[in-house]
């Protein structure tokens, strides 16, 4: 999924957002009507990560790839990015004790 890190200042309008607590430190938001994935919310940092496809007219630059240890060998982007394995992602975003 192509996603945008949006920080904590995110507002959703409407009454049809369903929230699923996917772990002790994250939750996901979905449209209660059609099931569209709306966001991934990291609770410790209060950061929202939103699918890029929800933005109609914005231009984005691909800067990082995560879970690269799970991607198919033939799948490669042309530009240089910061690449992180699944373990590195969990270490970066896990709550700090």
Q: Name the token pair of 81.
A: 């990015």
Residues 6 and 48 in one domain: yes
**Mean confidence (pLDDT) of the chain:** 86
- Predicted confidence at residue 86, as pLDDT, reads 85
Residues contacting 97, CB < 8 A, separation 6+: none
21-46 average pLDDT score = 89
Residues 8 and 39 in one domain: yes
- Predicted confidence at residue 97, as pLDDT, reads 64
Domain that holds residue 14: 1-56
- Cα–Cα dist 73/41, whole Å: 29
- Cα–Cα dist 45/37, whole Å: 20
- Cα–Cα dist 23/9, whole Å: 22
Q: What is the pTM of this model?
A: 0.74
Q: Name the token pair of 46.
A: 């209060």
Residues 3 and 43 in one domain: yes
């Amino acid at each position: 999924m192509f996603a945008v890190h949006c920080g904590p200042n995110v507002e959703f309008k409407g009454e049809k957002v369903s929230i699923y607590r996917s772990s002790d430190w994250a939750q996901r938001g979905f449209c209660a009507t059609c099931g569209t994935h709306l966001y991934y919310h990291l609770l410790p940092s209060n950061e929202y990560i939103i699918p890029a496809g929800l933005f109609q007219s914005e231009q984005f630059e691909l800067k990082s790839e995560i879970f690269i240890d799970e991607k198919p060998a033939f799948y490669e982007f042309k530009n240089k990015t910061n690449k992180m394995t699944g373990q590195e992602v969990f270490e970066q975003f896990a709550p700090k004790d």
